[in-house]
Amino acid sequence: MGAIKDGTISGTLPEAKVFAVHYPGYPSSTSRAVETLGGPEAITKVRSSQSNCLELRFRPEDPYSHPAFGELHRCSGFLLKISKKKFSADQNAVASSIMSKCLSKDATSSVPVPCDSESKEVEERNLPEIESTSSNKDKEVQMHKKMLINLYVDIVARVSEAYQFNGMVDYQHVLAVHGDVARRKRRWVEVEPRFEKGGLIDIDLEDLMMLVPPIFSPKNIPEKLVLRPSGLLSSKKKQEAVVQNRWEMDIEPCIAIDFNIEEIPRKVNWEEHIPQGSAHWEWQTVLAKLFDERPIWHKHTLNQRLLEEGLHFGAHQLKRLLFRIAYYFATGPFRLFWIRKGYDPRKDSESRIYQTIDFRVPPPLRSFGNIDTTNELKDRWKEICAFQVFPSKNQTSFQVFDLVDDYIQEEIRKPIEQTTCTVSTFFLISNNEVYQV
């Protein structure tokens, strides 16, 4: 036994051990709380097993009630029995002497010494004095002020383990039936025949369907989720890409179109859709200036100029930028060359200088010369167009305007009489000039 005095507790620690349950609610009674935990049998079974999980069902009569789970944790607490007794100021000294006497005996002996009889004697001495002052209210108030309260604490047992319900009990599915009806429905399959007379057809409609939703969440305890950032685009850039895709979907086909098409792709006002000052705006402006300088470009020559401008794009990104301002034919004298939208080279004889010409390398010459494939594209393509090295491929398409040769440049700029361009005739005067080139 111990006593609380001046904020300190004195006494001996018992050897008995108990466990506690931190109940996540306010039950109507202790018996109801034990019932929601499964009853004494279920609690005893959990304590005897190796499982450290205690189930709590807020509606044990409903078999479809979603349980909450309490986990077992170590703790260092005590089970206390606290009693409160009142004494007058005059008798407080007597009570203090009795308590000190009990505590001194308790300290020298391992067996607690009962002091209830001496406490009762103090109460009996004090009781007549209180009754004698009941006739006078003023004296009673004064006596009440002189009353002192002593707390007696008995340490019953040690609390070494406790079940804590840290999970969320934020949802409970309640069926629109009574608990007894629910239990009867679960046993129906075992009791009632399925296909005989009086079976499935004659069952009451309320027994036909019992739809219980699945578990609302696979997690019982809230966790912090760290979302993985996008490795391609930030949220702002991704939002811009979605907007760009919407207007780009309205662009008419401009990839590998038929050479005999009547109307070429129209010019697109990309300035109205791309935010000014953004990276796409700067890239698109550079490409637009290049196509103002020259209406038709070979893709390798275009890459070379972009590298000179300090820009390097992947194949997909460059194709997307060109898709907005250019197109190319699948066949004809300008096949696979990017052409500025709104410009029709078939109706302009001056476009003959941008026609294609194929160069085929014989097998003995494919490995001839110092062909260093590790050089940058701009240096290698310049050397090929200047006839300083042989192309590494069997067949390479050039744009006659890019070939660094005085004779070729002089021939392609001669006046011609032919004003129409077809897939087979090109803009050259005769086939002899093609072979000469």
**What confidence score (pLDDT) does residue 176 get?**
61
Of 26-40, 214-228, 286-300, 359-373, which gets the smallest average pLDDT?
359-373
> Nearest-5° angle of CA 385, CA 391, CA 393?
140
The H or E element spanning position 180 is helix 179-191
In order of 78, 155, 156, 373, the CA distances from 18 in angstroms are 9, 12, 10, 81
Amino acid identity for residue 306 in this structure: L
Please give the span between the terminal C-alpha atoms of the chain, in angstroms, as a whole number.
117
Q: Helix count (H) and strand count (E) of the chain?
A: 13, 11
Say if CB 391 and CB 361 are below 8 A apart. yes
The residue assigned the tokens 């078999």 is: 63
Q: Is the pLDDT of residue 260 over 50?
A: yes
154 CB-near residues (< 8 Å, 6+ apart): 1, 2, 11, 80, 81, 82, 83
Q: What pLDDT sits at residue 335?
A: 86
pLDDT above 80 (res 53): yes
Beta carbons within 10 angstroms of residue 329's beta carbon: 22
The larger pLDDT score, comparing residue 227 to residue 17, is at 17
- What span, in angstroms and rounded, lies between the C-alpha atoms of 333 and 349? 12
* Cβ neighbours of residue 429 closer than 8 Å, sequence gap 6 or more: 414, 416, 417, 418
What's the CA gap between 392 and 36, in Å, rounded? 83
Nearest to 306 by CA among 355, 376, 358, 397: 376
| pLDDT per position as a tens digit, 128-181 | 444 444 455 555 555 555 566 677 778 888 999 999 988 877 666 666 655 556
Highest mean pLDDT among 7-16, 32-41, 131-140, 234-243: 32-41
- Residues in contact with 302: Cβ distance below 8 Å, sequence separation at least 6, in sequence order: 290, 338
| Highest mean pLDDT out of 109-118, 338-347, 428-437 | 338-347
Distance CA 98, CA 116 (A): 10
Cβ atoms of 302 and 399 within 8 Å: the answer is no
Convert the pLDDT of each residue in 276-329 to its tens digit. 888 889 999 999 999 999 999 998 889 888 988 888 888 888 888 898 899 999
Task: Give the model's pLDDT for residue 205.
Answer: 45
Our CA dihedral for 109, 112, 114, 115, rounded to 10 degrees, sits at 70
Q: What is the DSSP string of 40-93?
A: HHHHHHHHHSS--EEEE-S-TT-TTPPPEEEEEEEEEEEEEEEEEEEE-HHHHH
Burial of residue 322 (CB within 10 Å: 0-12, 13-18, 19+) is buried
| Three-class DSSP category at 388 | coil
- pLDDT, one tens digit per residue, over 89-138 is 555 555 556 555 554 544 444 444 445 444 445 444 544 444 444 455 55
- The rounded radius of gyration (Å) of the Cα atoms in the chain is 48
In the chain, where the domains are located:
2-164, 252-436
Virtual torsion, Cα 196, 198, 200, 204, nearest 10 deg: -170
Residue 406 — very low, low, confident or very high, per pLDDT cuts 50/70/90? confident
Pairing of strands 326-327, 148-164: unpaired
